[in-house]
Structure 1
Amino acid sequence: MKITTAMHGGNYNELAKQHGLTKEMVLDFSANINPLGVPASLKQTITANLDKLVEYPEPDYLALRARIASFHQLDLANIIPGNGATELIFGIAKVTKAQKVLLLAPTFAEYERAFFDAEIIYAELAKETNFDAAETVLEIIERETELEAVCLCNPNNPTGQLINQEEMIKIADLCEKKNIYLIIDEAFMDFIEESETISMIPYLQQFSHLCIIRAFTKFFAIPGLRLGYLLTKNDLLAEALLQMREPWSINTFADMAGQILLDDKDYIKQTYQWISTERSFLYQGLNGFPELTVYQPSVNYIFFHLEKPLDLRKELLLKGIFVRSCANYRGLTENYYRVAVKTRADNIQLLTALEVILSGN
């Protein structure tokens, strides 16, 4: 059955209410947002520009696009901004009109919703192969006829597994030869300090069917502002996306955020210091439980399988902690979970709760 309604993990308010808890009483590990919070530079900019709310946003977002273009060393025409990465996913589906699309399973559900009218081919990833995707994707592209688009989340959500640059180049080369659009969602790529060795942005010029989607949401902790962008060297595709956009889809403060946040070197440095330390700490802590099979993380969340029958989300919620059950991801069961990497105090609280639950006390 195709997914037709949004199913995400960050809305824990309703579940908390069911257990007599308020939202403020629950520690949320389900949403993969930078725990450093909104950068001070953005708070100051918004505060100083509140009067801008009486003005319409700049319709073509030229300053925003120019800043992103400069950051990635691309041309203005290569940059298509959007109201979060999700708007761009739906936009690229409308523009390409792809009728046969390859998706990973499991992966982010919005791709399936965006390509609702298409025939979906699933690259089914398995526990036995560590949820690696590259080999399976290549096999399907070689085998399937009339494939028109391949949509890959890299790093994949929820597994955190990466398709490395060498593997992705092989995929892009095959897609180019077969006139297949390759759409890569790199929404979490910013959390990888050496991302230039993994991202396909340096290869945009080489592959005319390649589109890359990025987001400010996760890394800069601004999901409420909704800001993403798509990169492509395909002029016809870029122009079509710009033409079909609804006017003023990006609000004034999101526009400002995109212009200043890429320059906030202190925040970026602090984020890398935090993730380097806390991801390792939480991974080692989770790995210490024999009841869990924990997959090596690449970004700011950790994916694991519980090897015993237990509703872990419910048990943790009773202790004031909310984690992402992956039961509604295609190809996964109720014993798969994803947790965000948070602050040391929060991570310790999660590990302490798990020790009590898994020991049966």
Structure 2
Amino acid sequence: MTVLTHAHGGDLDAIQRTYGIPKEEIIDFSGNINPLGFPKRAEDALKENLHLICTYPDKKYKALKQAIGTYTGADPSHIVVGNGSTELISTFIQTVHAKHSIIMGPAYSEYEREVSLGGGKFEYFPLKEEEDFKLNLPALLEALTPDVGMFVACNPNNPTGTAIRTAEMREILAHCKKIGASVMIDETYIEFSDILPEICSIPLVKEFDNLFVIRGTSKFFAAPGIRLGYGISSNQTFLDRFKTNTNPWSVNSLADFIGQHIFTDFEFHKKTQALVSSERRKAFAELSTWKNIKAYPSEANFILLKLKTDRITAHELFEKCIQKKMLIRDASSFTFLDESYLRFCILSPAHNAALLAELKKWVEA
């Protein structure tokens, strides 16, 4: 049997090929996608406007940027859009072209990949298990020496779910400004947080021109297929280079149209936040009563678990769950984590209950 521990979460096609389970039947706890699915209002509008596929989008994406600005509070002139957040991560890292970068870890593997592709060197700043994966700010500031050209962090962090407070981020940015380092903050999961205003870096963009904040639409809006991401920066030099380094019309007409609808669907935003918040609290409360698992508090739509028993590994739990057509994430492929770590995302109440029952059967028995 092929081991898929190093696959990205949500790779249903790989699971289907390996295990022979139709991907439509898999309950995906690994992809971190909104359980409410794609916003109905945007879906209905799209059905009435499929003719847009015959037209080019606005090259400057003015309406889309205005919608994003209304949604985030950012100045539309500071907003760039791209073919998913992955393109923006790549473009920013290649534009900065730092010789030495520090990545907060454990982390999404795409950060180190892009640094390496550009010929740069990187090292990880570890979030430590003994500190519940919370940021040790003094230690980070000490690690950010004058030879560092870029600092990269996901906030809330994947896979730990821990978050950097805005006040802490201001200290990081001020320090990085002094040493001449750029800062990239990936806020892919921030919209699921109960304390978004307390951890959001977008308000700092006007104050610090060495900051680039990235978000996408794959997770919160359950729209990985439209490949729409956006970034926010007040650094005019970077914004000008970004225009030069990206292809025209990298966001297609349908994604442009969809973006103008999903960012203004405030009812969908509230429903998502209420569901995820309630189910996350319920799951964490249940897991906190178990003797053989430690659950880490999360500000994202997923929870990281550590097995406190050697009777079963994360991969063995992965195998047990996939036989029940439930796909969890064996987190051992993340830097600093081992075979005792797994991650699952929040889905519907019924699905969450079913997964917890299955985990409890194997872990707590």
TM-score band, normalised by the shorter chain? over 0.9
Residue type at the aligned position of 1:139: E
Counterparts in 2 of 1:359 and 1:17: CA distance versus 1, 3 Å: farther
Matched ranges for 1:196-275 at <5 A: 196-275=197-276
Partner of 1:121: 123
Mapped pair 1:41 → 2:41:
yes
Mapped pair 1:76 → 2:76:
yes
- In structure 2, the gaps of 5 or more residues are 1-5
| Distance (Å, rounded) in 1 between the aligned partners of 2:277 and 2:105 | 28
Mapped pair 1:89 → 2:89:
yes
Q: Judge conservation of contact 2:329–2:344 (CA < 8 Å) in 1.
A: yes
Structure 1 counterpart SS, 2:306: strand
What's the CA shift for 1:124? 1.7
Structure 2 counterpart SS, 1:31: coil
Residue type at the aligned position of 2:41: S
Q: Judge conservation of contact 1:134–1:163 (CA < 8 Å) in 2.
A: no
What's the CA shift for 1:188? 0.9
Matched ranges for 1:102-141 at <5 A: 102-116=102-116, 117-135=119-137, 136-141=139-144
| Distance (Å, rounded) in 1 between the aligned partners of 2:130 and 2:364 | 27
What's the CA shift for 1:35? 0.4
What's the CA shift for 1:298? 1.1
Give per-residue Cα distances to partners, 1:275-298, cap 9 Å, x unaligned: 121111111222232111110111
Residue type at the aligned position of 2:36: L
Mapped pair 1:318 → 2:323:
yes
Counterparts in 2 of 1:261 and 1:134: CA distance versus 1, 3 Å: farther
Give per-residue Cα distances to partners, 1:222-279, cap 9 Å, x unaligned: 1111111110111111111122111221121211122121211111111121012111
Q: Judge conservation of contact 2:191–2:273 (CA < 8 Å) in 1.
A: no
Counterparts in 2 of 1:266 and 1:280: CA distance versus 1, 3 Å: same
Counterparts in 2 of 1:344 and 1:71: CA distance versus 1, 3 Å: closer
Q: Which region of structure 1 is more displaced relative to structure 2, 287-296 or 64-73?
A: 64-73
Normalising by structure 2, what TM-score? 0.92
Matched ranges for 1:184-203 at <5 A: 184-203=185-204
Mapped pair 1:171 → 2:172:
yes
What's the CA shift for 1:177? 1.2
Give per-residue Cα distances to partners, 1:80-139, cap 9 Å, x unaligned: 101111110000011111111010121111111111121102102221111122423222
Structure 2 counterpart SS, 1:305: strand
Q: Judge conservation of contact 2:71–2:263 (CA < 8 Å) in 1.
A: yes
Normalising by structure 1, what TM-score? 0.93
Mapped pair 1:51 → 2:56:
no
| Distance (Å, rounded) in 2 between the aligned partners of 1:7 and 1:19 | 14
Structure 2 counterpart SS, 1:146: coil
Partner of 2:60: 60
Residue type at the aligned position of 2:135: A
Matched ranges for 1:146-161 at <5 A: 146-161=147-162
| Distance (Å, rounded) in 2 between the aligned partners of 1:358 and 1:278 | 21
What's the CA shift for 1:193? 4.4
What's the CA shift for 1:354? 1.3
Residue type at the aligned position of 2:177: E
Q: Which region of structure 1 is more displaced relative to structure 2, 54-63 or 289-298?
A: 54-63
Partner of 2:3: none
| Distance (Å, rounded) in 2 between the aligned partners of 1:23 and 1:194 | 34
Residue type at the aligned position of 2:154: C
Residue type at the aligned position of 2:294: T
Q: What is the aligned residue count?
A: 353
Q: Judge conservation of contact 1:134–1:168 (CA < 8 Å) in 2.
A: no
Structure 1 counterpart SS, 2:156: coil
Q: Which region of structure 1 is more displaced relative to structure 2, 177-186 or 65-74?
A: 65-74
Q: Which region of structure 1 is more displaced relative to structure 2, 315-324 or 283-292?
A: 283-292
Q: Which region of structure 1 is more displaced relative to structure 2, 196-205 or 336-345?
A: 196-205
Give per-residue Cα distances to partners, 1:49-85, cap 9 Å, x unaligned: 0111111222221221122234334433211101111
Q: Which region of structure 1 is more displaced relative to structure 2, 309-318 or 156-165?
A: 309-318
Structure 1 counterpart SS, 2:122: strand
Q: Judge conservation of contact 2:190–2:299 (CA < 8 Å) in 1.
A: no
Structure 2 counterpart SS, 1:80: strand
The Cα RMSD (Å) is: 1.6
Matched ranges for 1:338-349 at <5 A: 338-349=343-354
| Distance (Å, rounded) in 1 between the aligned partners of 2:115 and 2:199 | 26
Q: Which region of structure 1 is more displaced relative to structure 2, 307-316 or 292-301?
A: 307-316
Q: Which region of structure 1 is more displaced relative to structure 2, 11-20 or 332-341?
A: 11-20
| Distance (Å, rounded) in 1 between the aligned partners of 2:72 and 2:363 | 46
| Distance (Å, rounded) in 2 between the aligned partners of 1:286 and 1:328 | 23
